[in-house]
Amino acid sequence: MRLKNAALACGVMLLSACSSMATITAAQKPTTLVLKDRSLNLPANAHIRGTSFGNYEFKATETYDASAPPFYGILPLALKGGHMATDIIFFAPALFFNLRGAFKFYEVDVRSHTIRYRDDERDPWNSYQVKPEEEARARAYFEGRQQTSGTTASP
Protein backbone atom coordinates (compact mmCIF):
# COMPACT_ATOMS: atom_id res chain seq x y z
CA MET A 1 0.00 0.00 0.00
CA ARG A 2 2.86 2.41 0.79
CA LEU A 3 4.48 1.71 -2.56
CA LYS A 4 1.19 2.46 -4.32
CA ASN A 5 0.80 5.78 -2.46
CA ALA A 6 4.42 6.73 -3.18
CA ALA A 7 3.96 5.97 -6.88
CA LEU A 8 0.77 8.03 -6.96
CA ALA A 9 2.48 10.97 -5.24
CA CYS A 10 5.41 10.74 -7.66
CA GLY A 11 3.03 10.73 -10.63
CA VAL A 12 1.19 13.80 -9.37
CA MET A 13 4.49 15.65 -8.85
CA LEU A 14 5.70 14.78 -12.34
CA LEU A 15 2.45 15.91 -13.94
CA SER A 16 2.44 19.19 -12.01
CA ALA A 17 6.03 19.81 -13.09
CA CYS A 18 4.92 19.83 -16.72
CA SER A 19 3.33 23.28 -16.44
CA SER A 20 4.10 26.44 -14.55
CA MET A 21 2.28 29.62 -13.63
CA ALA A 22 3.63 32.78 -15.24
CA THR A 23 2.67 36.36 -14.44
CA ILE A 24 2.69 38.43 -17.62
CA THR A 25 2.56 42.23 -17.51
CA ALA A 26 2.99 44.96 -20.12
CA ALA A 27 5.05 48.14 -20.30
CA GLN A 28 2.19 49.85 -22.14
CA LYS A 29 -1.20 49.50 -20.56
CA PRO A 30 -3.56 48.10 -21.65
CA THR A 31 -2.06 45.42 -23.88
CA THR A 32 -3.57 42.25 -25.28
CA LEU A 33 -1.38 39.18 -25.71
CA VAL A 34 -2.37 36.24 -27.88
CA LEU A 35 -0.27 33.28 -26.75
CA LYS A 36 -0.69 30.36 -29.16
CA ASP A 37 -4.42 29.69 -28.82
CA ARG A 38 -5.52 31.98 -26.00
CA SER A 39 -5.95 35.71 -25.61
CA LEU A 40 -4.93 37.50 -22.41
CA ASN A 41 -5.60 41.04 -21.29
CA LEU A 42 -2.43 42.05 -19.46
CA PRO A 43 -1.60 41.89 -16.61
CA ALA A 44 -2.56 38.23 -16.38
CA ASN A 45 -1.52 34.89 -14.90
CA ALA A 46 -1.22 31.95 -17.27
CA HIS A 47 -0.43 28.26 -16.96
CA ILE A 48 2.23 27.51 -19.55
CA ARG A 49 3.03 23.86 -20.22
CA GLY A 50 6.60 22.69 -20.44
CA THR A 51 7.99 21.65 -23.79
CA SER A 52 11.19 20.25 -25.19
CA PHE A 53 10.89 21.07 -28.86
CA GLY A 54 7.95 23.44 -29.25
CA ASN A 55 7.69 27.20 -28.88
CA TYR A 56 5.08 29.68 -27.72
CA GLU A 57 4.46 32.19 -30.48
CA PHE A 58 2.78 35.40 -29.36
CA LYS A 59 1.19 38.52 -30.77
CA ALA A 60 0.98 41.59 -28.52
CA THR A 61 -1.04 44.69 -29.33
CA GLU A 62 -1.61 47.93 -27.51
CA THR A 63 -5.33 48.18 -26.92
CA TYR A 64 -5.69 51.99 -27.03
CA ASP A 65 -3.22 52.71 -29.85
CA ALA A 66 -4.67 51.03 -32.92
CA SER A 67 -2.03 52.69 -35.13
CA ALA A 68 0.82 50.87 -33.34
CA PRO A 69 1.87 47.73 -35.20
CA PRO A 70 1.51 44.43 -33.34
CA PHE A 71 4.56 42.86 -31.75
CA TYR A 72 5.17 39.27 -32.83
CA GLY A 73 7.67 36.95 -31.22
CA ILE A 74 8.51 33.72 -29.48
CA LEU A 75 8.34 33.58 -25.68
CA PRO A 76 11.74 32.92 -24.08
CA LEU A 77 11.72 29.69 -22.07
CA ALA A 78 14.00 28.49 -19.27
CA LEU A 79 16.03 25.31 -19.51
CA LYS A 80 14.85 23.19 -16.58
CA GLY A 81 17.97 21.34 -15.39
CA GLY A 82 16.12 19.78 -12.45
CA HIS A 83 13.50 18.35 -14.81
CA MET A 84 16.25 16.97 -17.03
CA ALA A 85 17.98 15.24 -14.12
CA THR A 86 14.70 13.80 -12.80
CA ASP A 87 13.69 12.60 -16.26
CA ILE A 88 17.04 10.91 -16.84
CA ILE A 89 16.91 9.14 -13.49
CA PHE A 90 13.25 8.11 -13.39
CA PHE A 91 11.69 8.23 -16.85
CA ALA A 92 13.90 9.20 -19.80
CA PRO A 93 11.08 9.52 -22.39
CA ALA A 94 9.74 12.49 -20.40
CA LEU A 95 12.65 14.51 -21.82
CA PHE A 96 10.49 14.89 -24.94
CA PHE A 97 7.84 16.80 -22.99
CA ASN A 98 9.24 19.15 -20.35
CA LEU A 99 12.87 20.13 -20.85
CA ARG A 100 12.01 23.83 -21.17
CA GLY A 101 9.44 25.78 -19.21
CA ALA A 102 8.14 29.27 -18.61
CA PHE A 103 9.84 31.81 -16.41
CA LYS A 104 7.70 33.01 -13.51
CA PHE A 105 7.55 36.66 -14.63
CA TYR A 106 7.36 38.29 -18.06
CA GLU A 107 6.94 41.89 -19.18
CA VAL A 108 6.00 42.63 -22.79
CA ASP A 109 7.14 45.94 -24.31
CA VAL A 110 5.27 46.37 -27.59
CA ARG A 111 6.99 49.61 -28.60
CA SER A 112 10.57 48.38 -28.23
CA HIS A 113 9.83 44.79 -29.34
CA THR A 114 11.37 43.49 -26.14
CA ILE A 115 10.44 40.76 -23.67
CA ARG A 116 11.74 40.98 -20.12
CA TYR A 117 11.73 37.89 -17.92
CA ARG A 118 12.88 36.61 -14.53
CA ASP A 119 12.23 33.73 -12.16
CA ASP A 120 12.20 35.67 -8.89
CA GLU A 121 10.41 38.95 -8.23
CA ARG A 122 13.54 40.35 -6.55
CA ASP A 123 15.84 39.53 -9.48
CA PRO A 124 16.65 42.15 -12.11
CA TRP A 125 14.90 41.79 -15.46
CA ASN A 126 16.65 39.95 -18.30
CA SER A 127 15.83 41.64 -21.60
CA TYR A 128 15.38 39.77 -24.83
CA GLN A 129 15.12 41.61 -28.13
CA VAL A 130 13.13 39.43 -30.51
CA LYS A 131 15.14 38.43 -33.57
CA PRO A 132 13.72 39.28 -37.01
CA GLU A 133 13.46 35.60 -37.98
CA GLU A 134 11.52 34.82 -34.78
CA GLU A 135 9.19 37.74 -35.44
CA ALA A 136 8.65 36.52 -39.02
CA ARG A 137 7.95 32.99 -37.78
CA ALA A 138 5.38 34.18 -35.24
CA ARG A 139 3.76 36.50 -37.80
CA ALA A 140 3.47 33.57 -40.25
CA TYR A 141 1.99 31.41 -37.48
CA PHE A 142 -0.78 33.91 -36.70
CA GLU A 143 -1.45 34.89 -40.31
CA GLY A 144 -1.66 31.20 -41.23
CA ARG A 145 -4.18 30.64 -38.45
CA GLN A 146 -6.33 33.52 -39.68
CA GLN A 147 -6.32 32.23 -43.26
CA THR A 148 -7.26 28.70 -42.23
CA SER A 149 -10.11 30.00 -40.07
CA GLY A 150 -11.42 32.11 -42.96
CA THR A 151 -11.13 35.46 -41.16
CA THR A 152 -8.95 37.16 -43.77
CA ALA A 153 -9.73 37.83 -47.39
CA SER A 154 -7.52 36.55 -50.18
CA PRO A 155 -5.80 39.24 -52.28
What does the pLDDT look like over 58-91, one tens digit per residue? Answer: 999 998 877 889 999 999 988 765 555 565 566 6
Any domain includes 29: yes
Residues 6+ apart with CB under 8 A from 78: 100, 101, 102, 103, 119
Any domain includes 6: no
- For residue 79, the enclosing domain spans 20-147
Residues 6+ apart with CB under 8 A from 59: 33, 34, 70, 71, 72, 138, 139, 142
- Beta bridge partners of residue 31, listed in sequence order: 42, 62
Any domain includes 8: no
- Residue range 22-62, pLDDT digits in tens: 999 999 989 999 998 899 999 999 999 877 677 899 999 99
Any domain includes 4: no
Any domain includes 153: no
Domain count, the chain: 1
Any domain includes 44: yes
- Residue range 85-104, pLDDT digits in tens: 565 566 666 555 566 788 99
Any domain includes 125: yes
